[in-house]
Structure 1
Amino acid sequence: MASYKVMVKDVIRKADVLLEVVDARFPDETRNSEVEAEIVRAKKPFIIVMSKCDLVSQETLEKKKSLLSKIAPVVFISSKERFGTTMLRHRILELANIKDRDILVGSLGYPNTGKSSVINGVVGRHRTSTSSISGHTKGVQLVNAGSRIKFIDTPGVIPFDEHDEYIQGMLGIKDATHLKDPIGVALKIIEKMCAENRTALEAFYKVTIESQDSYDVLELIGRQANCLKKKGEVDDTRVGIRIVNDWQRGLLLV
């Protein structure tokens, strides 16, 4: 953990502009307040990049942007839809306001938030490898993005003193089969979907949700999906794993 702190401070010190890459499906949970405080102390400009915005409705995106914009400029990115990278490039050039040399851009965030994919989108060519497997970027890399922009690409920054399996499951840092509590992660996903886009959850699993709590909804989905034990009881673990897998594959729109 100490090595991450050293790396983060070094990237912040070297960079002219910082990107904090967060998952658009749950940006508050994937922000790192300690990293943000470090950037502010260093008096460096930063941009909150909301990746995977194709998995979030436009209405939800705008609500989240209005809140996060009070902290830093916000840019939406979808690597899948190739959306937002030109805007991000413009924001970097605008914030840096450097004319006589290349601009160094530090990229920070959790594993699996899409940092390398964001960089590839701005670069426009496949200069840094990407992977859905967490921790793929093993060390700090310098990536030339053209137009005087160079990225400092880093491994995922794990929040200091935090080991939350629910976040790891929702981010896809751990797949469903490696979670100690896949049911608990599935319930968190159901809670979030019911709060932000219940219609999408109902449509995807072909269920009607009324006033049930998250566990009742899980049971409802299990019965509809025929995830049953021999005596006709819902196999909660099997349903939980299915919901987590669907979420991690980007099949559920918030």
Structure 2
Amino acid sequence: MTSYKVLVRDVIKKADVLLEVIDARFPEETRNSEIEREIVRLNKPFIIVINKCDLVSNEKLEKTKTRLSKIAPTIFISSKDRSGTTMLRHQILASARIKDRDILVGTLGYPNVGKSSVINGVTGRHRTGTSPISGYTKGVQNVDAGSRIMFIDTPGVIPFDENDEYIQGLLGIKDATHLKDHIGVALKIIDKILAENKTALESLYKITVEDESVYDVLKLIGKQCNFIQKKGEVDETRTATRIINDWQIGLLRI
């Protein structure tokens, strides 16, 4: 973790503008107050980029933007369809105010929030590798975005006290192959979707949820997916893995 701290501080010092990329589904959970304090301490401009905005409702997005815009300029991005990328490019140019050389833009954030996808969206070309597997970016890479913008792409930054596997599963920091309690993580996902967008869950798995408990909903999904063991019982681990994967690749919206 010490190496991450050194890397982050080095990027902040080198960059003219910083992007803090966060997940639209978990705006507060994917902000990093330690990084923000360091940016402010070094008096560097930064932009909050809300990525994966296609996975949440417009109402939720507007509430998030209203709140975060008080901290820094805030831009919505959907790297899936490249919406918001032109606005982000303009905001970078406005924030840097540098005329005589390329603008160095540091990108920081959790694993799997989509930093590399944001860069590819702004450049309009596949310049840096992406993957749904968290931690795909292994080292610092410079990416030429044209029009005097040079990105510094970095590996994901995890808060140094983050040990909660359930949060890591929800945020996509760990995929299903690296989680120990698949059922526990899946129950957290179901609980969140039932609270914020029950219709999405019902539509994807073709089920109807009435007064069932979160655990009963997991079993209902397993039955509908035909994940049945020899004795006729639902294979809960296989069902949980399916739910985690569907959540992390964006098939479930809130």
Letter in 1 for 2:99: K
Letter in 2 for 1:180: K
Matched with 1:233 is 233
Letter in 2 for 1:62: E
1-side partners of 2:173 and 2:132: how far apart?
A: 9
Higher mean alpha-carbon deviation, 228-237 vs 187-196, is at 228-237
Matched with 2:70 is 70
8 Å contact 2:20–2:49 — kept in the other structure? yes
Deviation at 1:208, TM superposition (A): 2.0
Matched, 1:150 2:150: yes
User: Compared with structure 1, are the counterparts of its residues 126 and 230 closer, same or farther at alpha carbon in structure 2 (3 Å cutoff)?
Assistant: closer
Letter in 2 for 1:129: G
Matched with 2:92 is 92
SS in 2 for 1:244: helix
2-side partners of 1:107 and 1:95: how far apart?
A: 14
Matched with 1:247 is 247
2-side partners of 1:236 and 1:129: how far apart?
A: 34
Deviation at 1:150, TM superposition (A): 1.2
Instruction: Please give the residue correspondences for 1:102-121 in structure 2 after superposition, counting only pairs within 5 Å.
Output: 102-121=102-121
2-side partners of 1:146 and 1:17: how far apart?
A: 16
User: Compared with structure 1, are the counterparts of its residues 244 and 141 closer, same or farther at alpha carbon in structure 2 (3 Å cutoff)?
Assistant: same
SS in 2 for 1:27: coil
1-side partners of 2:109 and 2:151: how far apart?
A: 14
Identity of aligned residues (%): 75
2-side partners of 1:212 and 1:65: how far apart?
A: 34
1-side partners of 2:75 and 2:124: how far apart?
A: 17
Deviation at 1:180, TM superposition (A): 0.3
Matched with 1:10 is 10
8 Å contact 1:82–1:121 — kept in the other structure? yes
User: Compared with structure 1, are the counterparts of its residues 14 and 6 closer, same or farther at alpha carbon in structure 2 (3 Å cutoff)?
Assistant: same
8 Å contact 1:169–1:179 — kept in the other structure? yes
Query: TM-score, with normalisation over the residues of structure 1?
Result: 0.92
8 Å contact 1:111–1:157 — kept in the other structure? yes
Query: TM-score, with normalisation over the residues of structure 2?
Result: 0.92
Letter in 1 for 2:174: K
2-side partners of 1:128 and 1:102: how far apart?
A: 19
Deviation at 1:76, TM superposition (A): 1.3
Matched with 2:185 is 185
Deviation at 1:144, TM superposition (A): 1.6
User: Compared with structure 1, are the counterparts of its residues 95 and 211 closer, same or farther at alpha carbon in structure 2 (3 Å cutoff)?
Assistant: farther
Matched with 2:127 is 127
8 Å contact 2:132–2:249 — kept in the other structure? no
Letter in 1 for 2:107: S
Letter in 2 for 1:131: S
8 Å contact 1:50–1:75 — kept in the other structure? yes
Letter in 1 for 2:226: N
SS in 2 for 1:29: coil
Higher mean alpha-carbon deviation, 123-132 vs 77-86, is at 123-132
- For structure 1, the residue ranges without an aligned partner over 5 or more in a row are none
2-side partners of 1:167 and 1:132: how far apart?
A: 17
Matched, 1:175 2:188: no
User: Compared with structure 1, are the counterparts of its residues 177 and 127 closer, same or farther at alpha carbon in structure 2 (3 Å cutoff)?
Assistant: closer
Superposed CA RMSD: 1.8
8 Å contact 1:144–1:150 — kept in the other structure? yes
8 Å contact 1:176–1:245 — kept in the other structure? yes
Matched with 1:21 is 21
- Over residues 18-40 of structure 1, what are the superposed CA-to-partner deviations in whole Å (9 max), with x where a residue is unaligned? 11111212222211121112112
8 Å contact 1:60–1:196 — kept in the other structure? no
